[in-house]
Structure 1
């Protein structure tokens, strides 16, 4: 049930925007975030789910007051992202939430009812769970909009990445520990952060703690509670400043201290693999056509849903899909072709569209579903395995570089948003030193 535990953790951490369903007579405030609050009960639920995830490995966790601060900081960031999304008009409907929950249940090979019982047994009401999934989808949509406006990849970058891939097909499984620095850090803050990262490196060099446990305890990165795991990356997904270093690291090796734009880092090479061992470079492509009823300032979500339901009923009653698309679809690129989208990969039109096309059989028409563009019906006309050609390779490399750029830009955006927000913690000891370092940071080992 590892995926379910991860889902439950996400549910608890995404509860910042949820009103408590059963408020106790007295429920303290854990933090004030701009004009909103995070309740003590919300923090306790999130904290308990972290402890559940680390059952049997509690020694890897930091002291409780430090763990509380880590979890609360995640809740603060989630709260800020959901508020920013709401301010920019991002909305997620009930049907989209239902589809996401059904997907979670299917991944864990349980029914929705069984998933609801599991959620309840771990101390989260089903209503809170639904609202937390809604917040997660909202944040995903905010991130997608951010990518469209902030991230671009040039032909020169794609050419350089393709050349690098030809020289080395290796992929690297990495983890990291971040000791963050604020924007415009003072010399004193830099010195304190450097002392902290050197102390962490000393613990690792002396074998007093493994890398994942050190990341959980000391890292300032949002993925600290995952042991700092960065997953598998090719060279074009690694910042240029670190690529040469990573290429020469052995599995298990920990880098020297690195200074990046967000602070000091330690990298661990977990393992390596040759991407060429994966076999033929084949992808599944789908041939489909769709009808779109767009949601915009002049067409409400409810009106668009009513129209797509009517069109779906016509098609189910025997109307020709292509004719209905030509008459009613709001997609100008495919309307004149009867909604025909040609051949495409599952992720080409976004995750919501991809989830629908992969769930259908050839010749089957979907029920109405929602994407950021509006309401759709899609018909899957065929599927095939295709060898990825030069154009697709360029597209894949572009997507890879775009993900890396998005990660950098998104983390910078989160730091800026966090720095501009009013946040008042109401738990734990007084604020840490101005550098933001945890009070239990290890000191560097002395020679004497």
Structure 2
């Protein structure tokens, strides 16, 4: 097993496709080492470039690709190293630090994903002629770069009022911000070219099930027992859908239903379908119960397992309880690009617009209190409820939803623009 390659695979998804790079101290033992680039207040050594080129070549070969000529590959790899170096310098100037606990958690995860303990990982690195300390420092660099981007790119994203209004008026905006319905279904199938008797039998079965539902029968149990839909074993749960995603006439019927109601059996090309409206959210409700909340989001990643993510969230919770400023911790640690720059503040939000896990904890947390760490589909959170109100602000709510959608859409675009900008503005002298 090539541990060097394994390590690079763990790190690659995190940022620019970076792979293992030796430190300057390691490079200095190479008798023919030299500077290949001066980057603002730092340098890149030939040994660093050679190491990265070898790793890139290994990756390309492993994927069955054709290696580009040396005079093409070397400048590309060097430019990537330059951009990474600039971000590390920014992190140092900004005071971004990765604590030993976080770093140890990341190293443990990498070792586990290579099927090893940390001691075995250390020994394997040594056998491949690599330094364990170098590996730790590379992981630290990747984590610093991630936080630099989180801060610098978020502050670049600007969404104008006109963009928000244009989005709200567009077909895409109407689709994304329209009311959503949590649905379940029961399908009684009708085969292709079925006889009239077969169709009537399927309809009678569907009508019988509908009658049972009206008398209080459990929808999920009937779905498991009788439905032919692909989600039957999940109680027919279809998840959240927009009305526009439903076939006629369900698209118009669902909007007039209340949670808990079921449709009559309707004929579709696949058979007879009964839909249940489990719950609904969004849309044009006039009066909303809103909560002013802020949070810190910590996400599992290639270098941080689920358990390690939970431990980091718990440490942040204890630091808040010990008196540290919530907003500062959110700026330094939260991985929600939409709120981290604002100290984790989500402003006034409609609970129905949030995932159930977040909504439930927010509901159970008194105003002025901080929740214990909890998990949602996005990662581990710590939240603080700052206030509650009931207000008629449908327009503002939809505008905020549009703002968030546009900011998320712009993030990748702004990241690439920012990387080009820092490269163009830096003092770089190539000595390759």
TM-score, normalised relative to structure 1: 0.43
Q: Which has the larger radius of gyration?
A: 2
TM-score (norm 2): 0.45
